[in-house]
Structure 1
Amino acid sequence: MQDHERLSAFLDGELSEAEAREIEKELEGDPALLAEFEAIREADRLALEEFDTMLREPVPFDLAKAIQEAPDDHVANATGAPRRSPPWGATIAALIALMIGGIGGYWAGQSQDSTLAAAPGWLQDIADYHAVYATQTRHLVEVPASEREHIQTWLTNTVGTNVAVPDLSAQGLEFQGARLLVAAGKPVAQLMYLDADQRVVALCLIATEAPREGFAAQTIGAFGMVSWGGAGANFVVVGDQDRTDLSTIAEAAATQV
């Protein structure tokens, strides 16, 4: 094993105790080896920072959907073990994969429409609201589902674009009612749903003259989001980060709004 490989394995905690002690002794007596180790550690730190930044960005919808629909045993293998810093080689491979897929999708989207151009930062506002309202029971909504027609008229007039309440019962969601939010300084319609476990999923929409094209999935805080654009509005479905059905819900909603 070459020095670079040994140092990377040492940094990732992949060596035996005896091998690690040997590396430590070598580092103490070899300034050149120590300099190489520090360079690897700094590169690893920068790569992990970039990786974390990229995880906060929207990812191609097809990739997010494939991850959500992966078999449970694959998910368990990926998340069941205690978290540790990824090995150097794995970090680079992940970055390359994300850069090829994510950056390509980014520039393709930029050629048509700037992501979230209608109201920059509105998804962060939605996540903040969801963190509050998703914990409510008696006061989950302002207007109950029994007033569906009033909800559609009220929010359409207030938000400035057509608001329709999609039927998501086939996705295991029951409509509870609606709220009016303000995000990025603009009114936002929020339609609230509950699943069989009483977990909240919200569909929000904001008026725009330049709807985004295609679907995009991302995570903000503790919540997963799938956003897209339609006639005169941008939409987002938001729910708990561990949900695997948000892309399916978004696709179903998009056919009805």
Structure 2
Amino acid sequence: MPSDELLTAFIDGELNAAESDRIEKLIASDAQVAERFDFLSRSDLPFREAFEPVLAAAPSAKLTAMLAAIPSASEQRKATSGVSRRGFLSAIAACLVVGVAIDRAAIGISRSLRKPDEASEWRAVVAEYLSLYTPDTLSAPAGNRAQQVVQLSEVGSKLGLTLTPEAVALPGIDFKRAQLLNYDNKPLAQIAYLDPESGPMALCITPSTKGASAPDMENRRGMNVVYWSNATLAFMLIGHLPIDRMKALADGVRGSLAA
């Protein structure tokens, strides 16, 4: 099962020819992959048409000059034909400079118009990603313990961290899958759960150079977040449960991973 990130890159035409052919064959041959592809494709809305009046009213010359001075990861990639959703959303984010509040561009504006805070930027990206999840996103069976061990071992090895089903277990909440994503050219582990009452949750881990920090809390995109770090890794637990419940779950998994 390819990750959502890989499927989204396929939808946006950002894969090389070989990888694109591989994903296309998977969609044609695997019903589960096809269903996930259809779900993600439905978010491919006509953003250009929707924001055309806003872009027409923006001070184009000034914004173009500002954007030209901002380093962008996309400048390091080979330009592709057409306009992807990601590229277009990054462009309309500049409209926030003149007070146009576009929630969809919140992550883009933080990257484009200010020097990002590494410690919080990755949490914003995770929250944006998880906000797209529904219970149906995680409806597939989690597999038996042996399969879970393999998933967690592969993900943990990229982070130099020992992950086991017991270490990441959340009482009363179903483990669904562990997958490896990529953020800012660094591995980002996502361990996904499904709470019967509140819906999708995730424990995410990525390398960090900020050093150890005690647990803290925040709210992002309507979800509660508990985050902390050790000497080399940053952690966050995100979900829709009340913050006191999230704090208790985070304390438990934090203790298990430190053992």
Larger RCO of the pair (alpha carbons < 8 Å, separation 6+): 1
TM-score, with structure 2 as normaliser: 0.46
TM-score, with structure 1 as normaliser: 0.47
Greater radius of gyration (CA):
1
